[in-house]
C-alpha cells in the first residue's frame, strides 16, 4: 500500500481512505475503512474522465455487473454511487497478489497447481456467464490469489452476451495477449471468448509468458488470429490437451467450461501456492497483531487420463482485491494489496 498523495480525497461517502492500493483502467483504488473499522477497497473514477459520458456509463456497467455475479470466485460489492461526482464503488477487502505478481515473484506454477487454478477459474467464469455476462478481460492482473483461492476481478469492460466488441468510440478495449480471435475480427463475442482467455491465462501460469506474445500490438494480433500457441515445454497430457482446446481459433471448437471443470476438478480440491507476503504499511489506528501464516494445501495428484471436455454453447487494467474473508459469500469483488491479511473475529491481522 502506498500513502495518499496530495489531491487524493481523505473520505469517500462514509469511508475513510487510508492509502493507495493501485489503479485500474478507469479509476484509482484505495484502501479504506468503514465507520466501524472494517477494511474495504474503494474504487474512484479518475478526475480526468469523470466528465466523459462514456466512462461514466462504463463505470455504471461495472458496478451493475459486479453486483449481479455470484459465486466463491468473484467478489462482493459493499456500496456504490455511480452517479456521484466522482463516481465510486466499495468492495470488501481481500488481501493477496495478482496471478501476474505471483508468477513474477515465484516463477511459473507446476501443472498440478495450474490444474487447481483452472478448476477455480472455470467455476468463477461459469458464475459470470450464468448472469448473462462475458467478462472479456480475463488476464493475470485481474486474478487475485487470495488465501482461500483465486478471485476474478474488474468488470470494467464486461458486457452482456452478444454486445459489440467495440466501445462507443470504436476503440478496441482489452489486453491483447489475452483476447480472443473474435475480439480482434469483430465477430460476436460470446462466453467462448472467456474460454479462450482462460487458456491464455493457464498457459501463462505454467510458462510465465502469454502463449501469443509479441513485441508490438500487431504481432500479438496476428499470432492470436493465425499462429499456434507457444506452450513451451509443457508436457503432453490432459492439462496441455485442455489448454490447447481452449485456445482453438474457432469459438465452437472450444470446450464447455463444465467440461474444463470436470477435467481439472477431478484432480481434487487444492489451493494454488501463495506468494510469501510482503507486509504493507499498517493503516492508521488499526492494530495488526502477528499470527502464523495459514497452511497452504498443494495438489499432489496429477490429472486423470480421461480429461472431460465439451463444446461451449453459442449463446448469446493491475487491480487489487476486495472481499470479506470472515464472511465470504458468493459474489464478491476483490481488490488486491501487496502482502496478505486475514479478517476474523472482528480483528484484522497482518500475515508476515
215 alpha-carbon distance from chain centroid? 24
3-state helix, strand, coil in the chain (%, to 5): 30, 20, 50
∠ Cα 89 330 122 (to 5°): 100
Known catalytic residue at 79? no
Residue located via cell numbers 515445454: 233
Record the cell numbers describing residue 337, joined without a space: 494489496
Q: Which of 48, 4, 2 is nearest to 26 (CA)?
A: 48
Which positions ≥6 away from 14 have C-beta within 8 Å? 34, 35, 79
Residue located via cell numbers 488470429: 225
- Other beta carbons within 10 angstroms of residue 163's beta carbon come to 16
Exactly one of 14, 52, 137, 345 is catalytic; name it.
Answer: 137
d(C-alpha 110, C-alpha 67), whole Å: 34
∠ Cα 155 146 205 (to 5°): 80
Total H helices, total E strands in the chain: 8, 13
d(C-alpha 308, C-alpha 197), whole Å: 19
- Other beta carbons within 10 angstroms of residue 19's beta carbon come to 19
Active-site residues, by number, are: 137
Amino acid at each position: 500500500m502506498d500513502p495518499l498523495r496530495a489531491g487524493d480525497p481523505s473520505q469517500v461517502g462514509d469511508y475513510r481512505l487510508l492509502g493507495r492500493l493501485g489503479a485500474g483502467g478507469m479509476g484509482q483504488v484505495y484502501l479504506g475503512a468503514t465507520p466501524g473499522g472494517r477494511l474495504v477497497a474503494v474504487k474512484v473514477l479518475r478526475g480526468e474522465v469523470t466528465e466523459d459520458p462514456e466512462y461514466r456509463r462504463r463505470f455504471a456497467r461495472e458496478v451493475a455487473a459486479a453486483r449481479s455475479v455470484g459465486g466463491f470466485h468473484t467478489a462482493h460489492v459493499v456500496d456504490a454511487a455511480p452517479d456521484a461526482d466522482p463516481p465510486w464503488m466499495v468492495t470488501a477487502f481481500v488481501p493477496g497478489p495478482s496471478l501476474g505478481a505471483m508468477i513474477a515473484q515465484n516463477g511459473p506454477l507446476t501443472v498440478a497447481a495450474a490444474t487447481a487454478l483452472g478448476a477455480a477459474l472455470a467455476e468463477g467464469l461459469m458464475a459470470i456467464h450464468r448472469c448473462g455476462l462475458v467478462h472479456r478481460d480475463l488476464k493475470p492482473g485481474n486474478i487475485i490469489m487470495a488465501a482461500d483461492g483465486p478471485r476474478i476481478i474488474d468488470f470494467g469492460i464486461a458486457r452482456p452476451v452478444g454486445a459489440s466488441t467495440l466501445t462507443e468510440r470504436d476503440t478496441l478495449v482489452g489486453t491483447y495477449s489475452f483476447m480472443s480471435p473474435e475480439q480482434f475480427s469483430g465477430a460476436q463475442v460470446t462466453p467462448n471468448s472467456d474460454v479462450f482467455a482462460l487458456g491464455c491465462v493457464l498457459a501463462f501460469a505454467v510458462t510465465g509468458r502469454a502463449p501469443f506474445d509479441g513485441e508490438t500490438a500487431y504481432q500479438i494480433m496476428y499470432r492470436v488470429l493465425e499462429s499456434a500457441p507457444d506452450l513451451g515445454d509443457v508436457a503432453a497430457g490432459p492439462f496441455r490437451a485442455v489448454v490447447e482446446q481452449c485456445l482453438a481459433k474457432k469459438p465452437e471448437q472450444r470446450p464447455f467450461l463444465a467440461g474444463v471443470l470436470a477435467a481439472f476438478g477431478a484432480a481434487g480440491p487444492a489451493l494454488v501456492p501463495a506468494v510469501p507476503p510482503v507486509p504493507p504499511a499498517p493503516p492508521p489506528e488499526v492494530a495488526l497483531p502477528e499470527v502464523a501464516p495459514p497452511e497452504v494445501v498443494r495438489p499432489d495428484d496429477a490429472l486423470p487420463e480421461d480429461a472431460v471436455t465439451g463444446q461451449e454453447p453459442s449463446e448469446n487494467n493491475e487491480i487489487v482485491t476486495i472481499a470479506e474473508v470472515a464472511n465470504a459469500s458468493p459474489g464478491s469483488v476483490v481488490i488486491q494489496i501487496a502482502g496478505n491479511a486475514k479478517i476474523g473475529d472482528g480483528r484484522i491481522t497482518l500475515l508476515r
